[in-house]
Amino acid sequence: MKALFIGGTGKISTAITELAAKRGFELYLLNRGNRPSFVPEGVHVIQADIYNETDVCEKLKGMYFDVVADFIVFDVESLKRDIRLFSGKTSQYIFISSASAYQKPLSSPFITESTPLFNPFWEYSRNKIACEEYLMSEYRNHNFPITIVRPSHTYDNTEIPLAIHGKNGSYSVINRIKNGKKVIVHGDGNTLWTLTHNTDFAKAFVGLMGNSHAIGETVQITSDESLTWNQIYEIIGNALGVKPNIVHIPSDALAKASKDFLGGLLGDKAHSVIFDNTKIKRLVPEFTATTRFDQGVRIALDFIEKHPEYQREDKEFDIWTDKMIEVYEAMEQNIPQLS
C-alpha cells in the first residue's frame, strides 16, 4: 500500500507512522522536517510546507497514493486545498476530526457516530464540524473518497493527559503532584472521561487504511475504559508514589480565567462521555484497545523522566494555579451557612 501522511510526526500520527512502516507500507511523510528523530527507517520524507500549495503540487507531480491522511487540517479552506491537490490522485482521503464536535451539552453520555454535532463553546470543534460537512458534500456530489475519523483524548509518551494545564503541557502539574502541591480538577471530579493511548489508536487507524468499507463513513476511535477525573489524578499520583492534593473548582469559574478552558472544559472535558466503539470494531475486527491508563501513564512518566526536553516548567501557570486556589478557597470560607 502506498500512503501519504501530511504531518505524521505528531501526538496521534507518530504511532500510526510507526505501525504503518512496521507493516511494510510504502509510506511518505509530507512535512517541514522538524522532527526527523520521529521518522522510522524506510519512511520517505517529502520536505515541504502544505500551506505552500504550488511547491507541494510540484513535489507530488505524477504521484498516486492509495491513501492520503492529513493530520493538520483544521478549517475548510485547508480542506479545499487538499481536494485540489488530491482529487483523482488517491483512493482514500482520511480526515481527522474530533469527538469534541459532539453535541454540547450532551443529551446522552452514550456516544455513537450518530450523536449530533454541535459545540457552541469551542471554535476548534465548530471548524471540525464545518470540515466534516464540506467533506460529506464532496463525497456525495463529486465522489471524493473520504473517511472521517473522530478521536477523543488521545495521548502519547511525551505528555500526561490532564484536566487543567498551562501552555507548556503536563510537566508543571506532574511536579506539583510529586511535590505535594495542590492541583486543580474541574467540577467535582466525578464526570466520566475516556483516554486512549496513541498506539491503540494507531491499530484502528491503520485498519481503516485501504479499507473499502470505510469510504464515505465516519468512525470514532477510543478505548473502552471510562474513568472519572478524580480517578485519573489518583492513577497519576499512584504512578508517582504520592496522593494528589486535589482542589475542585467549578468549570464555569475556570472558563472565566482563559478562553482555552472555555473550549476545553465547557466544550469538552466537563461532560461525561461513554463511547460506543461498535462501528470501528466492525470495520477493523482485530481492533482492541489494550493499554489501560494505569499502564500508559507509567510508560509516559518513565519516558518524560528520561527525556529532559519534555520537562518544560511553566512558572506562569504555577503562579496562576496558586492564585486561583487561594481565591477560591477564600471564597469557600466565606460561604454563608444556612441554619
DSSP string, 173-217: HHHHHHTT-EEEEETTS-SEEEEEEHHHHHHHHHHHTT-GGGTTE
User: For all residues of the chain together, what is the average pLDDT?
Assistant: 95
pLDDT at res. 37:
76
pLDDT at 259 over 90: no
Count of the separate structural domains present in the chain: 2
Q: Is residue 165 in some structural domain?
A: no
pLDDT in tens, 15-54: 999 999 999 999 999 988 778 877 888 899 999 999 999 9
85 and 181 fall within a common domain: no
14 and 78 fall within a common domain: yes
122 and 233 fall within a common domain: no
Residues of the domain holding 119: 2-153+198-221
99 and 42 fall within a common domain: yes
**Between 260 and 229, residue with greater pLDDT:** 229
pLDDT at res. 40:
86
The mean pLDDT of 223-245, rounded to a whole number, is: 97
260 and 146 fall within a common domain: no
Q: Show Cβ contacts of residue 139 under 8 Å, excluding neighbours closer than 6 positions.
A: 145, 146, 216
Q: Is residue 65 in some structural domain?
A: yes
The mean pLDDT of 221-229, rounded to a whole number, is: 97
141 and 268 fall within a common domain: no
pLDDT in tens, 68-107: 999 999 999 999 999 999 999 999 999 999 999 999 999 9
Q: How confident is the model at residue 311 (pLDDT cuts 50, 70, 90)?
A: very high
**Beta partners for residue 26, in sequence order:** 2
Instruction: Give CA–CA dist 113/26, Å, rounded.
Output: 31
Q: Cell numbers at residue 301, please?
A: 512518566
**In this structure, what CATH number is given to the domain that contains residue 41?**
3.40.50.720
The mean pLDDT of 57-69, rounded to a whole number, is: 95
Q: Is residue 166 in some structural domain?
A: no
